[in-house]
């Protein structure tokens, strides 16, 4: 059996000027939705700046994100219940129209022989509009931003639940690795 190898790119939140020996990326594809929806706009901008810093010239950054529509109309103030053979889950949401966030409470009841063990998770998510994320990407140095609907190459429709961004940078912002 062949041995599997994996290349992992670690994110180091150090200052860019101190990272003179870090490899560059030509492009990166990330399922980032879960990351950007838990942080504020200033942190999203800083994340985009860091990605721009590590991309080579003519690089692409591709990621997905939940839409405000999903937060307001799908997650909203709804409760979902999943009753599976070995686990029972109650998922409760509370929508905040002030910032488009959803407070999520998950309660899991996992079968352990004849009893169930309860565990819980609580967190909040924010959704950003395509316009907001596009503006933040441009501010971070990306010169071309395309936004697509979920699983297709057309623009998102009004009731889209997920959107995919493809952001291009012609001239990398780093300057440290210029050869």
Mean pLDDT value of segment 27-54:
76
Q: How confident is the model at residue 173 (pLDDT cuts 50, 70, 90)?
A: low
77 has which bridge partners? none
Of 6 and 88, the one with more pLDDT: 88
The pTM of the full predicted model, rounded to 2 decimals, is 0.75
Which tokens is 146 given?
């395309």
Confidence check: pLDDT of 7 > 50:
no
Q: What confidence score (pLDDT) does residue 174 get?
A: 56
Alpha-helical segments (H) within the chain = 33-36, 41-54, 68-69, 130-139
Give the pLDDT band (50/70/90) at residue 21.
very low
| Residue 142 in this model has a pLDDT that exceeds 50 | yes
- Round to whole Å and give the CA distance between 135 and 63: 15
Query: Is 153 a residue whose pLDDT tops 70?
Result: yes
Structure tokens at 53: 């810093």
Query: Under DSSP, is residue 144 helix (H, G, I), strand (E, B) or coil?
Result: strand
Please tell me which residue, 50 or 165, carries the higher pLDDT value: 165
Is the pLDDT at 101 greater than 80, yes or no?
Answer: yes
Does pLDDT of 105 surpass 90?
yes
Is residue 95 within 8 A of residue 121, CB to CB? The reply is no
Decide if pLDDT at 9 tops 50.
no
């Amino acid at each position: 059996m062949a041995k599997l190898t994996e290349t992992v790119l670690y994110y180091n939140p150090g200052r860019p000027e101190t990272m003179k020996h870090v490899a560059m990326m030509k492009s990166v594809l990330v399922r980032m939705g879960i990351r950007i929806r838990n942080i504020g706009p200033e942190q999203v901008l800083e994340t985009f700046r860091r990605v721009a810093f590590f991309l080579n010239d003519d690089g692409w950054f591709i990621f997905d994100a939940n839409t405000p529509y999903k937060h307001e109309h799908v997650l909203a103030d709804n409760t979902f219940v999943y009753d599976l053979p070995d686990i029972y889950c109650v998922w409760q949401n509370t929508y905040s129209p002030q910032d488009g966030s959803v407070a999520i409470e998950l309660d899991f009841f996992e079968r352990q022989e004849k009893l169930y063990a309860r565990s819980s998770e609580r967190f909040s998510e924010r959704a950003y509009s395509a316009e907001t994320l596009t503006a933040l990407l441009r501010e971070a140095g990306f010169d071309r931003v395309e936004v697509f609907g979920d699983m297709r190459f057309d623009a998102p429709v009004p009731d889209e639940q997920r959107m995919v961004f493809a952001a291009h940078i012609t001239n990398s912002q780093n300057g440290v690795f210029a050869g």
